[in-house]
Amino acid sequence: MIQQQQEACIAAAKAGAEVLLGYFRKLDPASVSEKSKNDLVSEADRKSEAVVKAELARHFPGYRFLGEETGDSGGEGELRWIVDPLDGTLNFVQGLPHWCISVALWDAQGGLAGCIYDPLRQDLFVAARGQGAFWNGQPMAVSRQPGLDGAFLATGFAWQLGSRFQAYNQALCAVFPRAMGIRRAGSAALDLAHTACGIYDGYFEHGLKQWDMAAGVILVQEAGGLITDWQGGAGWMESGSLVAGNPAVQPELVAAIQP
Ligand code: IPD
Ligand code: CA
């Protein structure tokens, strides 16, 4: 059954990608506005979400939908698409080639299927519950880095953190001297996809939204990785505080970021 939903995720992500590629580095600055401080939205985000939503509805008209730009809509059931039509909007607006489309399907148990598509690199990451994770059609797995010391990490520090930036900063200071390197590339969904495929050994961020995380979490878990919130618990979808990584690095990362 999940096969068809997974194909719908991929078709929708690719439809969004077509729209976005038409705007990349050609975006009219007048189409960009600020939702809140430093949180941008453009015509490209909105058009991408419209085609992703339409494509998903064409395949599965009864499912609910949560998208970054149009919010919650549709259906009564427990099945819900969770979509970020352009993750890495600031990169996109500035012309930095690092952004993606993220499409996930969730039910009452959590993530069922997910797809993250990076059209500039033609990198397609997909996973479905209990069926493993795949990178351009090949099985993918998290890294084998044995622990936090010497790990290659991703993180994010959004302006939306507000006063929580101090807590973030404290965590960063604890992790920094132990890591081989830390990247802040500007797309949470790609940070998770790149953790799932073993490029990064771990990733931590505060203040995420459900659409930033939903597909990437399925990828990491199906690739053999661990996901918790900053306390090591399961509340990350509600709190937006997330720690991901391979089974050796992730628990050490959680321990290191405790106040
Ligand atoms: C943002 C990116 C960024 C993360 C922010 C997100 P957007 O999503 O994923 O890496 O640090 O918290 O809001 O706004 O580009 O869709
Ligand atoms: Ca996002």
Query: Is there an atom of ligand 1 within 6 Å of 229 CB?
Result: no
Spatial distance between the Cα atoms of 127 and 133, rounded to a whole number of angstroms: 4
Model pTM score? 0.96
The closest-lying atom of ligand 1 relative to the alpha carbon of residue 205 is 11
Q: Is 34 exposed, middle or buried (CB count within 10 Å of its CB: 0-12, 13-18, 19+)?
A: exposed
- Summarised one tens digit per residue, pLDDT across range 49-102 is 999 999 999 999 999 999 999 999 987 789 999 999 999 999 999 999 999 999
Ligand 1 center–CA 116 separation, angstroms: 14
Neighbour tally for 95: CB within 10 Å: 10
Residues 190 and 77 in one domain: no
Q: Is 184 within the bounds of a domain?
A: yes
- Region 115-136: what's the mean pLDDT? 98
Which of the listed residues 46, 157, 208, 213 should we mutate to test ligand 1's pocket, taking the one with most ligand atoms within 8 A of CB?
208
Alpha carbon of 48 to ligand 2 centroid (Å): 13
Mean pLDDT of the chain: 95
Q: Which ligand is nearest to the CA of 210?
A: 2
111 and 27 both lie in a single domain: yes
Ligand 1 in contact with 240 (CB < 6 A)? no
Residue that is last in its domain, among 139, 168, 189 = 139
Can you give the pLDDT at residue 127?
98
Q: Is the CB of 91 under 6 A from ligand 1?
A: no
User: Do 119 and 211 have their domain in common?
Assistant: no
The answer, yes or no, to whether residue 159 has pLDDT greater than 90, is no
Which letter does DSSP use for residue 203 in this model?
Answer: E
Residue 188 Cβ < 6 Å to ligand 1 = yes
Average pLDDT (146-160) is 92
Residues 199 and 227 placed together within one structural domain of the fold: yes
Q: How many residues comprise the chain?
A: 259
Query: Per-residue pLDDT tens for 184-239?
Result: 999 999 999 999 999 999 999 999 999 999 999 999 999 999 999 999 999 999 99
Range of the domain at 14: 2-139
Domain co-membership, 66 together with 183: no
CATH code, 22: 3.30.540.10
Domain count, the chain: 2
